[in-house]
Structure 1
Amino acid sequence: MPKGRKSLPPLDYLLAFQVTGKTGSFTLASKELNISESSISRKVKLLEQHYGVQLFKRGHRSITITSEGFELLSSVSEALDILKEASSSLVEKETSNSITLAATNSVASLWLMPRLNKFQAVNPDLNIAIVSSDDDEECMAASNDLVILRGNGDWSNFHSELLFGETIFPVCSPNFLASNPDVTSKKYIQNMDLIDVASSHFEWMNWTTWLKSQRMNSPQSVRQTIVNTYPLAIQAAVDGLGVALGWQHLVDRYLDTGTLLCPLGDNHVKTSDGYYLLVPKN
């Protein structure tokens, strides 16, 4: 075997030796490295055979490091520290190029995803993980670097910046409008086939609260389509199942392409809330 190779024992031998030398015990080393005591002892023995020197004097219930072992321990500890630091730097560098962004289902699907390709083109070295959930606690989990939520801008553990306000209006497909021309009249909108979202967020606007803000009665339609996420409601409107509530910024691309339209024109409700980008204070 070439001499250069002989001078380099397996790393796990060195690690077993270093931890044993630090703790002064095969038993404690096995606990720290989470491997058996016999495995620790065997690796140290193989290291001694590799160098041809005794590194520990073994007693009945104890071990004592030899002068050769002490000299090697100093060098091995320093080398392992350098390796740990290099490894940590590499992991930190990799982590710094990754970001996890959490958002509500509506924002993630309708606002964020259509912009993601352009963002990645400008930031090709940034890896992005998207968490989509209507559970605020899940969105604000410590594992997420950035969060987009609806609210008033006041989150105690986060810095917040307004992305866009909340303006809401009816939307439907051109085909639905053609089959239901009365949908353009405000007084008939409550009688149309309406699409609504069933959510645990009672503060989110639905057809009942939208109509109430217009001083109108609750929905009178015999047929309603109820879904559990907002993107499904918009898809239902695109498919001509009825009239949904459209949030400005979230449905803009559908309006721009003519896939959806506003049957009541500029008739809308504007709230005091909005969608905010949240950054943890810590």
Structure 2
Amino acid sequence: MAIHSLPPLSSLRAFEAVARRSSFKAAAEELFVTPTAISHQIRQLEAHLGLRMLERSPRAVRLTAEGSVLYEATTSGFAEIAKAVAHLRLRQESAILTLSSTTAFLSHWLVPRLTELSRLLPDVDLRLHASDAIVELRSGGVDAAVRYGKGPFARVATVPLRDDVFGPVCSPMLGLSKLDDLRQATLIHIDGRQVPTPTPDWTRWCAEAGLLNVDTQTGVRFPDSALAVQAAIAGHGIAIVSLVLVSDALVAGLLVAPFAPVLRGETYHFACASDLETRPDIVALRAWLLSVMAKTAATCNGF
């Protein structure tokens, strides 16, 4: 049937609402028009088809046999249209994906992998939001986050990605190989760490390693891990950092992790707003993070 031979869409909408609600008044309220307007639309529909669709009485509105056939078709048709519109809106909303995480995670771990991630989500405008504080996740704002802590996190859907480990790292240029070498090495400190607790610092590490008589307060200090890592790569000393975050530098040989033990940290979690848990780009991002973090875990286990 050609499109132009169909009844007007407005009359079909009015008919479907009256048939579903069994009331002209209720249909009018739903469609934000007057009952008179609804009556006009139904008359227009019946005139177009040359058939009576509804039996009217003072107390009820009933479908005729022909009306039942049309009602079944309109119900199915409007449901399919609603599904298509929802899909189109979802695609539009998915065009932008805002991911939040700590400055350290984004700079050390995610940014070096952005090319790989862009190939995975070629039609998504990925926007990174750096914050060491936990931000609210919601559709239309910050959609997802890689969070660090014990978890679980309230009011969001979360999946653990992997546990963190900390250990001493330095440039291979320093040639550190024996624990006693640490007595002459420059210790790099990171001030202001909030997590994990207890803090993975030199005092704690030396106690775990059984290394006594080391002045764990001397050395150079930096306000964040990004600067500390750069100092270590440049050969300015040895720092205790997340082996997860510097895994690429370790594989590339820019850093070495010459000493055991490692100190356990917290856990990296993928989190998203609860109503976005099944959005295709969120599902793809979560699966990618789980896969790549598993490879990072295998890498870290070698140090």
TM-score between the two structures when normalised by the length of structure 1: 0.58
Deviation at 1:184, TM superposition (A): 2.0
- Kept in 1, the 8 Å contact 2:162–2:269? The answer is yes
In structure 2, how many angstroms separate the alpha carbons of the residues matched to 1:128 and 1:233?
Answer: 28
In structure 2, how many angstroms separate the alpha carbons of the residues matched to 1:191 and 1:210?
Answer: 16
In structure 2, how many angstroms separate the alpha carbons of the residues matched to 1:159 and 1:242?
Answer: 40
Matched residue count:
187
Partner of 1:211, secondary structure, is helix
Deviations, residues 176-217 of structure 1 (Å, cap 9, x unaligned): 22xxxxx32224425521112112505242223322333445
In structure 2, how many angstroms separate the alpha carbons of the residues matched to 1:223 and 1:272?
Answer: 24
Residue among 225, 228, 231 paired with 2:223: 228
Deviation at 1:101, TM superposition (A): 0.5
Q: Equivalences for 1:111-122 in 2 at 5 Å?
A: 111-122=109-120
Percent of matched pairs sharing the same residue: 24
Distance 1:159 1:233, change over 3 A: same
Partner of 2:267, secondary structure, is strand
Residue among 256, 261, 277 paired with 2:251: 256
Partner of 1:256, secondary structure, is helix
AA partner of residue 191 (structure 2)? A
In structure 2, how many angstroms separate the alpha carbons of the residues matched to 1:276 and 1:239?
Answer: 31
- Kept in 1, the 8 Å contact 2:137–2:273? The answer is no
Deviation at 1:153, TM superposition (A): 2.5
Deviations, residues 29-74 of structure 1 (Å, cap 9, x unaligned): xxxxxxxxxxxxxxxxxxxxxxxxxxxxxxxxxxxxxxxxxxxxxx
Residue among 175, 188, 192 paired with 1:195: 188
AA partner of residue 173 (structure 1)? S
- Kept in 1, the 8 Å contact 2:188–2:228? The answer is yes
**Structure 2: runs of 5+ lacking an equivalent:** 1-85, 276-303
Deviation at 1:157, TM superposition (A): 2.0
Distance 1:89 1:273, change over 3 A: closer
Distance 1:95 1:237, change over 3 A: same
Distance 1:276 1:191, change over 3 A: farther
Distance 1:169 1:99, change over 3 A: same
- Kept in 1, the 8 Å contact 2:149–2:266? The answer is yes
In structure 1, how many angstroms separate the alpha carbons of the residues matched to 2:184 and 2:157?
Answer: 43
Q: Equivalences for 1:149-188 in 2 at 5 Å?
A: 149-177=147-175, 183-188=176-181
Deviations, residues 235-278 of structure 1 (Å, cap 9, x unaligned): 110111100123222111111111111222xx132426211111
In structure 2, how many angstroms separate the alpha carbons of the residues matched to 1:190 and 1:148?
Answer: 37
AA partner of residue 98 (structure 1)? I
AA partner of residue 102 (structure 1)? S
Deviation at 1:233, TM superposition (A): 1.0
In structure 2, how many angstroms separate the alpha carbons of the residues matched to 1:160 and 1:141?
Answer: 11
151-160 or 122-131, larger mean C-alpha shift = 151-160
Deviation at 1:230, TM superposition (A): 1.1
- Kept in 2, the 8 Å contact 1:191–1:219? The answer is no
Distance 1:210 1:160, change over 3 A: farther
AA partner of residue 170 (structure 2)? C
Deviation at 1:168, TM superposition (A): 1.5
Partner of 2:221, secondary structure, is strand
Residue among 260, 271, 274 paired with 2:267: 274
AA partner of residue 167 (structure 1)? V
- Kept in 1, the 8 Å contact 2:166–2:241? The answer is yes
Partner of 1:246, secondary structure, is strand
Distance 1:122 1:217, change over 3 A: same
Distance 1:99 1:211, change over 3 A: same
